[in-house]
Structure 1
Amino acid sequence: MQRPQMNPKVSISIVFVAAMFMSIMDGTIVNVALPSIGHQFGISSTSVDTIVVSYLVSLAVVIPVSGWLGDRLGTRRIFLGALCLFTLASALCGLANSLGMLIAFRVLQGIAGGALTPVGNTMLMRTFPPAERVQLSRILNIPTVIAPATGPVLGGLLVDKLSWHWVFYVNLPIGIATLLFGLIFLSEQHERSSRGFDFPGFLFAGIGLALFMYALSEGSNYGWITPAILSSLIAGGVLIAVFVFCELSTREPMIDLHLLRNRQFRNCNLVTVLSGAGFLGLLYTAPLFLQEGRGVSAITSGLTTFPEAIGVVVGFQIGSRIYPVIGPRRLMAGGIIMAAIMMTLLCLMGSTTSLWLMRALMFLTGASMAQVFLSTSTAAYANITASEAGHASALYGTVQQIGSALGVAILSTVLSSIGIMQLIAGKLQPNLTAYHIAFLTAAVLTLLAVIFALNIRDKDAAATMQRTSNTRDTLGGEVSAPVEIV
């Protein structure tokens, strides 16, 4: 029986948004459930943290090889296979009756999640021409920034009203519906590659990134100079360096690092790692400030940080309209500077300051960062060919993960070094100064990205600055004549 036909731009966009929302939200929704999981299994907060770390480590191992898998076996097959595994692993996580089982199933989730984003991005880059990607970005980047903000709110409701098991079960309806839709409407893309599997590259990248991500995730908990963390950090760094050497010298690399010779792609990656570190570090610190520093409930905390997601949605709508006019360089730099200012102003939050000030600042931070996300994700691939898309997506995805982990590691180290509690009049009180310094650190990390944003050249992104009449055109209607970039 012939499969029903749908415009591939529409079908890929729907599947990508749904799958990304599910997998990205999973990274934050689980955090809310950790205390309940630890209580049920009778384990300490340090041990239960392994549930998060195992996911991050397995995620990092798979991302580099995802480009080869998509090119070799087909992007549709790999994407839907990863989606099926992620959904199945979510169900198994909810059914787990021991910490060991839960960690094992989280590893399966990470393996699946590591392939979803790069392979999905590859499908998009091969389907949408450069001129349409800025309009596409205002829709497709939404799950990247809304999902982390939605996770704590939804997670708090599920844990309070039902049980921790439901933070995993919530993935099932989304995953099943998306999988069925993809099986019916997605078409295979034929950018097949005959290159062999780069086993040394996979080995060095997989083990190196796993050790490095483990050290970044657990360094603030155990101490950066403890033998386990220090040895993991050094060994991971050495293996990544060996991986770089091998990839540059082999004829068929797993990830083509020569892509970093592309000035636009390289600078966008550097902006991504620094701005991502600052932004994700802020999203990690803000709930801690609200719940530990201000003593509000998990629900109130989630509702206070959620305006960031609304700001991103609004920011994307504005940014996509002015991107073709002013170009990625100024839009990116302006967004970085404004976001850094908003993060700095969070230091005004005291023990009794109205939470509406923080909500306003989070909204403006999200609106500012939207300009950065839109510009980098669009301009980075401006000069990337269809055959290079798999390599580029895998490399970009790896950089994003490193940036996220780096931001959380740096800000959690700042908090633990200063101390989030202080002794006042013989009683332990929250030390808000520690959170303020963490906010400043996030601002500095973000602001450093402006150095590389100013090295972006609008003429290198000219293909992405052509305007289409509206988003409906981009997602399948008749595209209007392009506007020349002078």
Structure 2
Amino acid sequence: MSVHDVLSRGTPNPLRNQRVVIPIMSVFTIFMVIVDGSITTVALPSLARQFHLSPAGLDGVVVIYPICLGMVIPTSAWLLERHDGRRVLLLGLALFTLASGLCGAAENLQQLIVFRALQGLAAGALMPVSQALIFRTFTQHEQIRLSRITIIPQQLAPAIAPLLGGSLVVAFSWRWVFYANVPVGLAAVVFGLLFLGEHREHRAARLDLAGLLLSAAAMGSLMYGVCAGPDHGWATPAVISALMGGAALLGLAIRHQLRTDQPALRLRLFADRLFRKACLVGLVGLIPTMGTMFLIPLFLQQAQGRDAFASGSATFTEAFGVLLTMQAVGVLYQRVGPGPIIGGGLLGVAVVELLFATCDADTGLWTLRLYMFLLGVMMGAFFIPVTLASLTTLDRADSAQAATLGTVVRQFGMALAPTVVTTVLVLDSGHGGHADISTPVAGYQKAFLVLAAIALFTGLYAFSLGRQRRMPEAESTGTANVHAAGAAQGVRQALTARTPE
């Protein structure tokens, strides 16, 4: 007799209800991945001292993670359609936890890079799989209502991670930044083994090996080019080769998958107008939102000369702004639809960027905290509404593929955000390497203006998403035969592409 059989007897237990269990698993997963991305950047200066390198010498540790993450994402839809979602999610969590412990125990830089790559491979499956389980179960209205609760830990994770990471590095060492994942990961795996039920898509998906290999190679090559370009120079042979090779592989992957009956990535979903537009808005909209989250710590530490703790305390207020807005978005979405909410939110982001552009070396911390809070208020109108809009007119049977394509788009947006910021700073500083302390305050102000322009044009385009609010089966999917459960997740992942020196 299994533990699950014992627990299934006796008095009713809410943990027997998968509509309760999967939101908990989702929070575990997202919290751990987000904290890992945010907390790791704090440890890089300590890592540089440990291995007698400059922070620039740790590019391998930084870049390998998004490369491996991007390579695995295309396989996640096939894994979920072919295999039990429970097994895929738990194996991913176990691998991520193991890799975290190995990163902390690494004896040299080469080992750390290998184990960091293993983390990226696991994380590439965790995000889209957990999201797809959610989209299969809840109606759009239920997702919005649940998101008002699940967004809390998702927003607190990147807010507390820099403070937690700084404390661990100061009190112990950089190794504990990775060890911090282990107890959370073990708890998630044990909880899933006890309470998470089987979630199988009853679809005999054929393995499109050629499509998977082409997609993974294209993603890996493009991610390397985008992440390494600002640091090494866009004209360097390695970056040019990566971008050109990635573009060629991407073209081959698209050609192959449009001609295949059961492709690794169902690109035909982009024929849906609302899905296509929402993905485009999500991709470009991440540049000003996440770009600002990357730029503010740089501004505080390099232009104003503040320490990491002051930087973390200044950006912390953004999370409260997002949480505040999310309480209203659920009601407004059902009344006015995605276009006005997302468009208005991005226009608000543009206004806040203009406020940041007025800051200089003497601007006080509380002024910056206020601006960060306002940024969070506007970002809350962008994140979850754009994800929900992308699924409004799609069949629920396509949820795994839609989640995978959405994750691919968001991953590129996450990589482009710091790339745009760093490129502007490097060009303004007159140096061919990193944006460093020699970058004048005017360079940061110019970067904020560039982000404001991007937010403005994206916001205006977002109004074309219209006012369509419900998926075709929004009122008829609350049946007992639902195989998975969850809540709409925020798309905010920590930026792991670059870090201030």
* Fold agreement, TM-score > 0.5: yes
Question: What is the identity, as a one-letter code, of the residue corresponding to 1:114?
Answer: G
Where 2:144 maps in the other structure, the secondary structure is: helix
Instruction: Specify which of 8, 12, 23 is matched with residue 33 of structure 2.
Output: 23
| 1:168 match | 178
| 2:450 match | 441
| 1:221 match | 231
Cα distance, 1:316 vs. partner?
0.8
| 1:259 match | 269
2:112 is the alignment partner of 1:98 = no
1:315-360 deviation digits (Å, cap 9, x = unpaired) = 1112122221222111111111111111221012111122111111
Q: What are the equivalent positions in structure 2 for 1:128-147 lying under 5 Å apart?
A: 128-147=138-157
Where 2:391 maps in the other structure, the secondary structure is: coil
Q: Figure out how many residues of one structure are paired with residues of the other and give that number.
A: 462
**Distance across 2 between alignment mates of 1:242 and 1:151:** 40
Q: What are the equivalent positions in structure 2 for 1:126-275 lying under 5 Å apart?
A: 126-275=136-285
| 2:67 match | 57
1:274-305 deviation digits (Å, cap 9, x = unpaired) = 11122111111110100011011100100001
Task: Say what the alpha-carbon RMSD is for the aligned residues.
Answer: 1.9
Q: 1:463 to 1:329 in 2, by over 3 A?
A: farther
Question: What is the identity, as a one-letter code, of the residue corresponding to 1:286?
Answer: I
| 2:346 match | 336
| 2:434 match | none
Cα distance, 1:465 vs. partner?
8.6
Query: 8 Å contact 2:334–2:469 — kept in the other structure?
Result: no
**Distance across 2 between alignment mates of 1:43 and 1:300:** 25
- The sequence identity of aligned pairs, in percent, is 37
Taking structure 2 as the reference length, the TM-score comes to 0.89
| 2:88 match | 78
Q: 1:183 to 1:420 in 2, by over 3 A?
A: farther
| 2:18 match | 8
Q: 1:338 to 1:219 in 2, by over 3 A?
A: same
**Distance across 2 between alignment mates of 1:301 and 1:108:** 30
Q: 1:236 to 1:318 in 2, by over 3 A?
A: same
Q: Which runs of 5+ in 2 are unaligned?
A: 9-15, 432-436, 476-483, 486-501
Q: 1:266 to 1:186 in 2, by over 3 A?
A: same
Question: What is the identity, as a one-letter code, of the residue corresponding to 1:161?
Answer: A
Cα distance, 1:408 vs. partner?
0.9
Query: 8 Å contact 2:96–2:122 — kept in the other structure?
Result: yes
Where 2:381 maps in the other structure, the secondary structure is: helix
**Distance across 2 between alignment mates of 1:385 and 1:87:** 34
Identify which of structures 1 and 2 has the higher relative contact order when contacts are C-alpha pairs closer than 8 Å and 6+ apart: 2
**Distance across 1 between alignment mates of 2:82 and 2:197:** 16
**Distance across 2 between alignment mates of 1:147 and 1:253:** 35
Q: What are the equivalent positions in structure 2 for 1:390-405 lying under 5 Å apart?
A: 390-405=400-415
Cα distance, 1:202 vs. partner?
1.1
Query: 8 Å contact 1:131–1:464 — kept in the other structure?
Result: no
Cα distance, 1:265 vs. partner?
1.2
Q: What are the equivalent positions in structure 2 for 1:296-315 lying under 5 Å apart?
A: 296-315=306-325
Q: Which runs of 5+ in 1 are unaligned?
A: 422-427, 467-474, 477-486
Cα distance, 1:53 vs. partner?
0.5
Q: 1:129 to 1:270 in 2, by over 3 A?
A: same
Cα distance, 1:100 vs. partner?
0.5
1:21-75 deviation digits (Å, cap 9, x = unpaired) = 1112211211111111111111232221211110010000001110100111111
